Amino acid sequence: MGTALLLVAVVAAAGACLPGSSAQLLGPGRHMQRSYAAHPAPGSARETVPVAHRAAAGVAVRPAPVVNAAVAATATTGAVTHAAAPAPVPAAGSASRRSGSPTFLELMLLGVLLPALIWLAVQLWRERDSRRRSEQRILEFLATAGHELRTPLTAISGYVSLARMGGLADPEKFDVAMDRMTDETRRMSALLDELVLLARLDLRQPLHREPVNLARLCREAVADAQASSPHHPIRLTILPGQYSVIGDRDRLYQVVANLLANVRHHTPVGTRTVLGLGNEDGHRVIEVIDDGPGIPPELRERAFDRFVHGGKPTAPVPKEASGGGNGLGLSVAAAVIGAHGGTLTLEPSERGAWFRIRLPA
């Protein structure tokens, strides 16, 4: 609304400066014409404007007419009489100015206002296009989130219906059904937690701030990942240095855990991973590198988008990590690192995936 009002004001100002408008500006010559248009009548007490001034003003000067006898006779008596000044000859180009042709000032104003009007129109178009894209992303996000939540709810509802019909009378089938419902409930809870976290980060709500020892954090994340999937060996490399940062420890741990879980979910058994920690240009750097099949080229540019899946998991997902695989892990990690003033990037590599975290020291 403010941009539209500004546009209307600029258009009104431009219309006021255009030729033929009620507020048309006068050129420099027109002020002079109005000053010299009315000449005093004979015998008037007002003196005639000096010719030198008229010439300087751009008004053509012609020789004064011969003084008539009455004026000459009066001059002999010593009386002072002012002769009527001849009508001025219009200056060259004055007729064209009176006809409404634009002056230099008007052209200069148009040269300034026209680009401004074009710029405002472009900004309005971009703002409208950006709003349309944002609305489209929100609709897609809601549709995908609803689909992701519907999957576990459908499984739980199916097991409940089966139990009501007596299909779970067998104790073994009952235990299996309970395990599956527990897994789906955990998955739904993890999805809701990540959606709430993304909403908080989008609203720029502050995270908890405290000193965090990244070296200890990485050791704990590696130990937990090895316990969850012992068939994915992980090597931890910490270079000498100080690794303290100010941030939310739980969220930073979640980032490292998500990157390690991403390897477990989308690489075959036996894939080796290296977790490295070092310093670079005043930043703490954490790298997660694996020798798996890597991320498909068509997904590399959208790896950090929400609900982007890397395909079917190539390894069974442990029960402890049943909340993963919903396409939000990398987007949550990128949002958390961004909230800490850092960056999370996917670096080019010949084999496997190479994720790099940079946090300000």
Per-residue pLDDT tens digits for 277-336: 999 989 999 999 999 998 888 888 888 888 776 654 444 444 444 345 567 889 999 999
Count CA atoms within 13 Å of residue 40 on its CB side: 11
333 and 258 in contact (C-beta within 8 Å)? yes
Q: How far apart are CA 269 and CA 292, in angstroms?
A: 10
The confidence score (pLDDT) of residue 109 equals 77
Q: How far apart are CA 271 and CA 344, in angstroms?
A: 22
* Sheet of strand 273-280: strand arrangement: 234-238, 273-280, 283-290, 354-360, 343-347
133-180: per-residue pLDDT in tens?
Answer: 777 777 777 777 777 788 888 889 998 998 888 888 888 889 989 999
Q: How far apart are CA 75 and CA 283, in angstroms?
A: 100
254-268: per-residue pLDDT in tens?
Answer: 999 999 999 998 899
Q: Which helix (H) or strand (E) holds 355?
A: strand 354-360
Q: What is the DSSP track for 129-178?
A: HHHHHHHHHHHHHHHHHHHHHHHHHHHHHHHHHHHHTTTT-SHHHHHHHH
